[in-house]
Amino acid sequence: MIEAILESPYINSLPTLFEGLKMTLLITIAGLFLGFILGGLVGLGKLSKNKLIQGICTVYVEVVRGTPILAQVLFIYYGLTEDLIGLSINALTAAIIAITINAAAYIAEIVRGAVYSIEKGQREAGRSLGLTEKQTMRYIIWPQAFKRMIPPLGNQFVISLKDTSLFSVIAVHEVLYMGKQYYNVTYEIFETLVMVCILYLIITIPTSIILRRLERKLDV
């Protein structure tokens, strides 16, 4: 019986799918890391007193959030041609850029909301201690705001992870694309797609559980 299980089409598809899962995690982690940096800057830009900076950041967030990530990655991969920008963008790079740009727009709102939620008295306390506005943000506001960002940032990880499945349209070798390649050869469509879904759930369900516990622990 064990031998039958090990030779089942469900198990046979795993080596191929694991290769795709590595790519999926690479794109998600790299994209979110860069997206957090960009999103943090944009989020703080939306809080800026400079109307130009605030306007540019607002337009960026609204444009990115108002268009689907599938259209964004197609634009990056097919629209930004070598003749137009002077360099060639491969599928993996296009996928990471798409996740970065897309996630940054949502992370910007997370950052803006978290910073804005800190009581004004905290800022006044920092100024009364002789801290500049930047020092107050760095040492008082940001640490408290970051604590409140953690749960929604975790949710963004789950969303971005699932968004990578759309990148099969530009032949990125993520888990869904590798699943398609596998069942195109074996014709084991049902079994392969079941395993694709299970691999996503193996990541997303524990992540969601950890986030709920963390949210309760942080009391945010």
pLDDT for 3: 58
53-69 as b/e, with b when 16 or more CB fall inside 10 Å? beeebeebbeebeeeeb
Q: With the CA atoms of 51, 153, 28 and 208 taken in that order, what torsion angle do they form, in degrees rounded to the nearest 10?
A: -160
pLDDT for 158: 93
Chunked in runs of 10, what are the mean pLDDT values of the chain (220 residues)? 61 92 96 95 91 95 96 92 76 95 96 86 74 78 85 92 94 94 92 95 91 75
d(CA 40, CA 114): 11
Q: How far from chain centre, in Å, is Cα 86?
A: 27
pLDDT for 17: 95
Q: Looking at the structure, give the CATH architecture of the domain made up of residues 2-218.
A: Orthogonal Bundle (1.10)
pLDDT for 5: 52
What residue spans define the domains of the chain? Answer: 2-218
Task: Specify whether the CB–CB gap between 46 and 54 falls below 8 A.
Answer: yes
Supply the DSSP symbol for 118: S
Phi-psi region of 8 (alpha: psi -120 to 50; beta: other; left: phi over 0): beta
